[in-house]
Amino acid sequence: MIQTATVTKILKDGRAEVAVRRQSACGHDCAQCGGGCAEMMVSPTVAVIAENPLRAMPGDSVQVESSTGSVLGAAVLVYLVPFLLFFLGYALGAGMNGPSEGLGAALGGLGFGLGVLLAVLADRRVRRRRSISFRITAIEPGS
């Protein structure tokens, strides 16, 4: 996955901290997809550490490449797993309790919470191991 980023600072080991603009599902053309823009609710950039073989400097606009498989795997874990566990918990609770939905809702909530906990633990593991790597591959002209 290749994204445009801005170098914010250079670390002591030569790597760079870069601000990567978050991409929405509609490519920030929310009128085109008919939805309200979620960009207002969340920070539009994410700070990541990138290998800096080109020796980009703060303020440079750069192309940053990341491993697509790792990013997609993380997205599945963060977005899909909590919902799958919610529906699984709800179905199990509803099946055990008959027509009353109280147990299904409770187990669904527990499943969702477990999914969020798994996502947080996985995020910590990824940060520790640096499983998702970023690398500056080009400096934009005029930077």
- Are 103 and 88 in contact by the 8 Å Cβ rule? The answer is no
Q: Tokens 């996985």 correspond to what residue?
A: 122
Domains of the chain by residue range? 2-27+35-139
Cα 117 to Cα 10: distance, rounded to the nearest angstrom:
33
Q: Which residues contact 142 (CB under 8 A, 6 or more apart)?
A: 61
Q: Is residue 62 helix, strand or coil?
A: strand
What is the model's pTM? 0.53
Cα 57 to Cα 65: distance, rounded to the nearest angstrom:
17
Q: What is the pLDDT of residue 28?
A: 47
Name residue 35's amino acid.
G
Structure tokens at 9: 């600072």
- pLDDT, tens digit, 9 for 90 and up, residues 64-92: 988 766 667 777 778 888 999 999 988 88
The dihedral through the CA atoms of 2, 5, 61, 8 has a sign that is negative
| Residue, of 19 and 125, whose pLDDT is higher | 19
Q: What is the pLDDT of residue 100?
A: 63
